[in-house]
Amino acid sequence: MDTYANFQRSPKQVQKYYYFVQVMNFVIAFLLLGLFLFLTLYFHWWSWLIYLIALIGLLVAINCIFKPLIEYRFTYYKVTESYLAVDRRFFFKKQKLVNIERIQFIVRKENPILHRMGLCNVVVVTAGHGVELPLMHETTVQEIEEHLLTKLKGVNTDV
């Protein structure tokens, strides 16, 4: 597993998935905001609610544009011989390390959109917590799972 010696970023398709999900969230949020705006105008509620709805709509639009970009550009992962690391480097640096010997099981998550794009979401679970890896191609996930499981077969420690 020398190919994972340095931190790596998810494939470019992941950014497309993040934008697709955010566009769906954007449409749902604007439908709800439109309904609330209609109710505000129909029932003659306070006029300042229109400004509040506009502000919320602006925040939703900004979130839709920047959240996928931030999630894709500032999330990295690393698999070595002894540990697994997930690094998030936006504004604050947050790094989660998991000793391979402490892994209890691996969860692979997919939805129809991820499956169509050939991507997977992997959660590595230990006794104390779970570490969610960034989205990856199915082949990369299989390589990482094989590496982790072969390392776990040789472990003779009891937690």
Please state which of the ranges 4-18, 65-79, 82-96, 128-142 shows the lowest mean pLDDT. 4-18
Q: What is the pLDDT of residue 4?
A: 43
Q: What is the pTM of this model?
A: 0.83
Q: Is there a single domain that holds both residue 89 and residue 138?
A: yes
Residues sharing a CB contact under 8 Å with residue 74, sequence separation 6 or more, in sequence order: 88, 89, 90
Tell me the residue range of the domain where 147 lies. 76-153
Q: Is there a single domain that holds both residue 23 and residue 81?
A: no
Which domain-ending residue is among 45, 72, 99? Answer: 72
Q: Is there a single domain that holds both residue 89 and residue 143?
A: yes
Beta strand extents in the chain (DSSP E only): 8-9, 75-79, 83-88, 94-99, 103-109, 119-126, 130-132, 136-137
Both tokens of 93, joined, read 């640096």
Q: What is the mean pLDDT of the chain?
A: 89
Q: Is there a single domain that holds both residue 80 and residue 142?
A: yes
Q: Is there a single domain that holds both residue 86 and residue 100?
A: yes
